[in-house]
Structure 1
């Protein structure tokens, strides 16, 4: 009994980390990938998908997990045009199944995917990491924040697609008066269309929690707590309908008991993200090393819960710090994520040794 360790990779010429490096990390068997240059809403072509598979195959790495096939904003808004974008999404699922993809991680967050106010917040040891300053979010203009994020890296920033954010003003106007109930309803419509296709093609759809797990700029967010995840999973009774349980996203709210979530939802978690954050009393939080003592997320307890549940799904170390002068995509360097994997393996092996 063992988890399947994977590593996120953004593609050739779009990542400072190479597949040669990834395959040397102990226990890593596959990449978590996506076609980041394909505009949201368009069909992923068979040719491009097979190119990724062929590249990974050369290094002995599988392509079972995709993160993510992003959802067009018209689907979240429930516009008449959503049906064409949903049809495109179904076709992409079929194409991905042809190469043996097992899991598609996606999210249903309006406009913004993840959100931080600083991509390189210095720590006392000289490392830097992603940082969220609560008071800054409460007073900053979203347009100003987008400019800051996109100015920090020449590499693509997942969830911050320039072609979409170029229309930020229009998007905010479209969401005026939009409530959580509207979002739940539009999510149900999407699931009713997508899940049967995923199930027929042997793929598990795994929604990612909101990051951070609360409303941003007045936009509704609904995948943010144990109660909400339970409601989400009850929306569709299918093995193809699950969650990507992310300890860092959910852990930004100290009220979230992630150990309890693992135990309750274990059979609906095909994919998990494991990372640590340190939450301050004022609501600010910084991403830390994976080591339990360095943050406020009980990673030791979470890994133990997965072990107790006999979890054999896919797992990746989520965001890491930027250490040893590495120049990389914010949160996605090689060194700290590789260290994180070895910490996670150490925890897992300690529980495995106790059992045997």
Structure 2
């Protein structure tokens, strides 16, 4: 397991590279050119700038999260070929600096969704929370306002410039079905995966978050069965999965450990996150400690250890603790503690395996 840490870039993140360097076992940063809108070709000079910053602290740039997909591709419009061509050129540029995995999603209009970014917990920390019933009654415009109410911290997937045209976007997606959306994903993959194979970059689709339809928009990456279908759209090891324990666990009953074993050769990247799911479907981000949430974190790490996972893993959304002023979910302290918890499980498994072989 190769530990990495998501970083939003100089001037766009309260966490610094010198701080990340002090977290034991972190070898690379998970990055992107977050200021570029979906559909833009990434400039080589900007990619090189991030590489130089990472090199200065001994980090690799193996994982990009995300090269976002333009809505015209998801909609299957004639203009999609223009945007796919740009995506392909970006893949080739990323290969030139050593990138090995691209995380992306295929969620219509909205990326991840929460109803409260600062839900107060009993211990005084705050965490991102989803009230399922409130979400069913909220208007999209109000949700956008809540997510972007703090302009100091842009949230990935919630770019104000793009969502300023929300009414037109909903009109464009009117009548979109899961089957059509999946067909549009197939078209994208059939164009992109041969290039990914050539460049030795694994594409890793991220599950829907939350894993159910929103505002009448379909979701197609939300269960074990749906993931099977997507991996078969283009049957190549370069058509892979970002296994996100939190996203998939919001659907209670999903067997995350079983998914790790079944899709072992198709998982280049893992987001390890704990959530507490309530009986009514609400959920809140928690610490990575297993007993604090619903996710079988120990089972997840053991499954990765069992398959001798050599891909990349990062701690996903943390709480805001110790009065840290940071982007919700992406502070330093709780994610650093999460890494040490994960390493503790991993090291104990290594120790047990070593004792058993003597």
Aligned partner of 1:45 in structure 2 is 43
- Cα distance in structure 2, aligned partners of 1:135 and 1:226: 25
**Whole-angstrom CA distance in 1 between matches of 2:212 and 2:112:** 11
Match of residue 134 from structure 2 = 136
> 2:151, 2:112 → 1: CA distance?
16
Partner of 2:212: 214
Counterpart contact for 1:180–1:222, Cα < 8 Å:
yes
Q: Shift of residue 152 of structure 1?
A: 2.8
Structure 1: runs of 5 or more not aligned: none
TM-superposition CA deviations, 1:126-166 (whole Å, max 9, x none):
00000000011110000111011111341221001112101
More deviation, 184-193/147-156 = 147-156
**Which residue number in structure 2 is paired with residue 292 of structure 1?**
290
Aligned counterparts of 1:277 and 1:353: Cα–Cα separation in 2: 28
Task: Name 1:120's counterpart in structure 2.
Answer: 118
For the pair 1:263 / 2:252, whether they are aligned, the reply is no
In structure 2, the residue matched to 1:191 is: 189
Q: Which runs of 5 or more structure 2 residues have no equivalent in the other structure?
A: none
Map of 1:159 onto structure 2: 157
The answer as to 2:307 corresponding to 1:309 is yes
Please give the alpha-carbon distance, in whole angstroms, between the structure 2 residues aligned to 1:175 and 1:255: 30
Show CA shifts across 1:51-97 (max 9, x none).
00000000111111000000000000001111100000000000000
The equivalent residue for 2:343 is 345
2:318 to 313, 316, 320: 320
Deviations 1:220-264 (A, max 9, x none): 001000011011111112121100000011011112110000010
Does the residue aligned with 2:52 lie in a helix, a strand or coil?
A: helix
Partner of 1:94: 92
Give 3-state SS (helix, strand or coil) of 2:176's partner: coil
* Alpha carbons 1:49, 1:96 under 8 Å: kept: yes
1-structure distance, mates of 2:188, 2:202? 15
SS in structure 1 opposite 2:218?
coil
What per-residue deviation string (whole Å, max 9, x for no partner) do you get for residues 283-340 of structure 1? 0000000000000000100100110011010000000000000000010000000000
CA contact (8 A) 1:110 1:219 kept: yes
Pairing 1:72-91 to 2, within 5 Å after superposition = 72-91=70-89
Query: Quick one: distance in 2 between partners of 1:344 and 1:180?
Result: 35
The answer (yes or no) to whether the contact 1:153–1:329 under 8 Å persists in 2 is no
CA RMSD of aligned residues (A): 0.6
- Describe the SS at the equivalent of 1:242: strand
* Correspondence for 2:3: 5
- 1:234 is paired with a residue whose SS is helix
CA distance in 2, matches of 1:144, 1:284: 19
User: In the alignment, is the contact (CA less than 8 A) between 1:69 and 1:104 conserved in 2?
Assistant: yes
2: distance between equivalents of 1:148 and 1:233?
A: 35
Q: Secondary structure at the match of 2:265?
A: helix
Q: Deviations over 1:14-37 (max 9, x none)?
A: 000000000100000000000001
Structure 2: how far apart are the matches of 1:242 and 1:151?
Answer: 34
1:174-253 equivalences in 2 (<5 Å): 174-253=172-251
Worse-matched range after superposition: 147-156 or 230-239: 147-156
Tell me the SS of whatever aligns to 1:289: coil
Output the CA distance in 2 between the equivalents of 1:41 and 1:33: 17
Q: SS state of the match for residue 177, structure 1? A: coil
The DSSP-based 3-state class of the residue aligned with 2:263 is helix
Q: Secondary structure at the match of 2:210?
A: coil
Measure the CA separation in 1 of the matches of 2:37 and 2:305: 38
Task: Provide the aligned length of Structure 1 versus Structure 2.
Answer: 354
Q: Which of residues 171, 174, 183 is equivalent to 1:173?
A: 171
Q: Deviations over 1:1-51 (max 9, x none)?
A: xx1000000000000000000010000000000000111101001100000
CA distance in 2, matches of 1:231, 1:39: 29
TM-score for the superposition, normalised by structure 2: 0.98
CA–CA separation in structure 2 for the residues paired with 1:167 and 1:323 = 35
